[in-house]
Chains A and B, each alone.
Chain A
């Protein structure tokens, strides 16, 4: 399994990368390569030119820029995994990252790479959609922003324009006393792409009722989905298990779930309800000050 031939360039800065992308519509950017290289060696992807953006220092950062926690596109997943700011301010992201692949792939894989790849089962797109993250990209000398929910539009399909390159993503930071997160996924082996995943973040009011809630499920449909109707239904409630279950069942009643050799559509639909339920329950516990369970996954 050897990749088809290509030219290799290193971009010194993002505009150089974009210029090279614009000059050749078969050119692609490479960062961590953990998803691109397998596709290339299987000859499913055949870029004529690879533009290596790993050394663009300006694309690797984690900071709170006033509007949220901004993470540069080439920031390694393992760096985000260990980052104290992320753990404190975007706990849902911190909770989800250890589930991405293996330590060896997180050592190289980047935040931007996983988002741009847009695998329906990937954790980062799910978190981005769940938290209403905003992605930013550079194209034709301009930086533009796009909400996560408008970015992911199909399996491995995004609205990144031709010649554009993702430069970063910003996760909103929830302010509040009682914030909690939950994340669950199910797969045959711990490190596989999820068969089904679910993420939830909750803010409880002083009265213990739900002040704010976001719920997303991944790997069930072509791109992660937010369960808006369930969120609306659960606002202001105590988020008791029965109410949560009912809201989720209703939200997921008619979805056209993916089916493949790993799981049937009906399995995915049912598991989505179950995992989302657990994610919400974890988030509630966490918000109430009980210890959030890390990696308390389905197996």
Chain B
């Protein structure tokens, strides 16, 4: 793709969405008041597993302002179970538990009242009797024969156990002189937005229309509502112009939506549910991966890793929607940036009596990158080789792209070595080592952390087919519509929600670039689902590629139409017409021209001057297929996953107080290559935010459970989100390696930072602990765990 200077793309433009947010005029779901709207509060199960025996609603219903108490049986009779990803009909998922509740905090009943406070008052008065059942919390226990079953009808706790073998794994292991095994655990955490999930639903029986306003980031949201409520999808109108207060994957609230959708249809007035923080943390079903990796690698004395076996065991919680697919997406970058020749990958998803999991930023790539990068460090340590050198030796080189990895995905482009060199030119590795040594001499433990990770971007659905062969989806579309109106102004529309990624700015910039008009003159709208073309929504770091791509193509269609109109009216051949800045003129005779206003006049009013066969007006649209998509997996599970691969290289200096175990990040550098950067402010913000998320996952955040199945981190007092004091100053060194698969050479950056920071921090901590001869491979690396580990090691050493 072109490395030309762009007029608007890659320039330092403001993000237009910011204007409404800085004055507090965002439109979040809790800001929307529908006339006669009532409020929902939940009644939750206090036990990790229990049979629901009786539900007595009488006291609740007698309270002032209370309209209804809904239980799971009634809801189950009127709705279909929620959509799942895997083929697991005996593990149904519903908004309210029916006969059995399967995690502490699971929703058992819903109260509707005039205010949220009254609903909470009444929720306390719903009397439920339970019979406690045995429960299982640990994934390794759950897969044992004879384990307590979370879903009796399913016969086991295993939702998925699939092994893929790509290449001659056994042969490569046998032929390699060195092997290493490592266990790495990604603790249960999530990206926890500051805004909880909320939905307001309103049913109009005369129009047969369900209006849905929600803080949502979810593919096929309207479809799922339609299926569960058994109403046509054309009776569901999702309002895409609701501002979402952060999502990073987790705002999937389908159970909340089906619940409210049913209630509004049943009760005849709008119903709103805004999770409070306790409902959100315990029962919002927005926990992230809790993944145990067992990695074996085969390598030689030069540190070249030839083959890898990886088992990923995922604790998905009590039910599963799409979340087990988070074991599949990383297949598309299973070897990271390295030339590992053969891979065996076993993906196991088990249910336990914990809160249900949801998609989290990266969809499993972050945990996988952690496992890969810890392994690379340990390979280096085993050989006594430098950890940076090991990576250089194993990395795919620029001239080797496009590069196909054993699982069948072809990486589009990259220049990993250049990115690393650029970072080291900014911050000398030798100087960093000296600084580390100075810190050590001063009595601290200190370590350098390195992580070289990929961010697959562009999105695609092929991991679905990999893990559930009954799925044959080979597309993941997005779309853009552009209309020039009779006054000559431009409106472009996007067909999904945003949660701060600046999509409106993206659209304006790309269309402005193609049409050579000021992006700020372009109105961007967000029509509802009934007025939208297909969109896969902002998942999989795809919007720059897919929305940007759709906008680009639509804008080119418009440009072509304008050029054709101008050429025809000028009486010249199309090949002699030049479009520039909204004007069409004759090549070599620029005084012959039709300006923007003329072209609009012709298209809208002077049909007699239009070329034959063209529609009047200036309306175009484009629905885009994902680049490199369109195929399904082969029999041995090889497939092209995502189209583009961004790269990030983290370099961290971290000190640990040896007595207290407190980690402190002293220096943070990251090299980032996401191809053409359409808006530098947006991309920088994504990387900074992703790193903060990653630091949280690495050091502070955990949905910890006690032995009784109770979530201990139920509020922000115990689930520790990094503040400005916990996130160090970060310097980003940007590099651009264009993607050959996209319209502007852009790749995605929506997950940047998050996919590599936990690995970098974990590697830094381990480098710091190395002189003590201990290591730690479980996130989060809480300071007390570090403190205990260090104390134990020192005791052994006789310190």
Contacts and interface: CB of A to CB of B under 8 A. Distances in A.
Interface of A: 1-5, 38, 42-43, 186, 188-193, 195, 260-264, 266-267, 270-271, 274-275, 298-299
B223 interface: no
B784 A262 contact: yes
Nearest to B720: A188
Which of A2, A4, A190, A195 has the most chain B CB within a 10 Å cutoff?
A: A2
B720 A266 contact: no
A261 B718 contact: yes
A42 B715 contact: yes
Contacts of A266: 788, 791
Given A4-B121, A263-B784, A298 B722 contact: no
A192 B720 contact: yes
Contact of B712 (A42, A190, A193, A261): A261
A42 B401 CA distance: 56
29 contacts: A1-B120, A1-B278, A3-B117, A5-B121, A38-B717, A42-B278, A42-B715, A43-B124, A186-B662, A188-B782, A188-B783, A189-B720, A189-B726, A190-B726, A191-B725, A193-B717, A195-B783, A261-B706, A262-B782, A263-B783, A264-B784, A266-B788, A266-B791, A271-B659, A271-B660, A274-B659, A275-B660, A298-B657, A299-B664
10 closest A-B pairs by CB: A263-B784, A2-B117, A267-B784, A274-B659, A299-B662, A1-B276, A261-B712, A261-B704, A190-B725, A298-B660
B179 interface: no
B654 to A, nearest CB: 12
Among the interface residues B276, B722, B784, B788, which one has the most CB atoms of the partner chain A within 10 A? Answer: B784
Contacts of A262: 718, 782, 784
B447 to A, nearest CB: 16
B297 interface: no
Contacts of A3: 117
B609 interface: no
A270 B715 contact: no
B661 interface: yes
B282 to A, nearest CB: 12
Contacts of B704: 261
B278 A267 contact: no
Contacts of A193: 717
B700 A2 contact: no
A4 B700 CA distance: 32
Interface string B246-288: 0000000000000000000000000000001110000000000
A272 to B, nearest CB: 11
A188 B718 CA distance: 10
Contacts, number: 78
A195 B788 CA distance: 14
Interface of B: 116-117, 120-121, 124, 276-278, 657, 659-664, 699-700, 702, 704, 706, 712-713, 715, 717-718, 720, 722-723, 725-726, 782-784, 787-788, 791
Contact of A189 (B700, B713, B715, B791): B700
Contacts of B713: 261
A2 B662 contact: no
Nearest to B121: A4
Nearest to B713: A261
Nearest to B724: A190
Contacts of B712: 260-261
A3 B121 CA distance: 9
Contact of B787 (A189, A192, A270, A299): A270
B657 A195 contact: no
A124 B791 CA distance: 30
A53 B732 CA distance: 51
B661 A2 contact: no
A270 B117 contact: no
Contacts of A43: 120, 124
A299 B662 CA distance: 6
A264 B788 contact: yes
B527 to A, nearest CB: 35
Contacts of B715: 42
Contacts of B661: 267
A271 B658 CA distance: 11
A193 B720 CA distance: 11
Contact of A298 (B124, B662, B782): B662
A2 B120 contact: yes
A274 B784 CA distance: 13
Contacts of B791: 266-267, 270
A193 B787 CA distance: 18
Contacts of B700: 188-189
A191 B723 CA distance: 9
Contacts of B718: 261-262
Nearest to B276: A1
Given A186-B783, A266-B788, A298-B660, 20 more contacts: A1-B276, A1-B277, A1-B278, A43-B124, A188-B720, A188-B782, A188-B783, A189-B700, A191-B725, A192-B717, A193-B717, A261-B702, A261-B706, A263-B787, A264-B784, A266-B791, A270-B791, A271-B787, A274-B660, A275-B660
Nearest to B722: A189
Contacts of B278: 1, 42
B770 to A, nearest CB: 21
A271 B791 CA distance: 11
A2 B788 CA distance: 40
A263 B785 CA distance: 7
Contacts of B664: 299
A35 B679 CA distance: 43
A270 B790 CA distance: 11
A282 B702 CA distance: 34
B690 to A, nearest CB: 19
Contacts of B723: 189-191
B720 A267 contact: no
A297 to B, nearest CB: 9
A271 B91 CA distance: 47
A264 B783 CA distance: 11
Contacts of B120: 1-2, 43
A207 B723 CA distance: 46
Contacts of A264: 784, 788
A260 B720 CA distance: 14
A267 B784 CA distance: 6
A183 B661 CA distance: 18
Q: Which of B121, B700, B787, B788 has the most CB of A within 10 A?
A: B787
A195 B782 CA distance: 12
Nearest to A273: B659
A5 to B, nearest CB: 7
B799 to A, nearest CB: 13
Contacts of B706: 261
B124 A267 contact: no
A42 B659 CA distance: 36
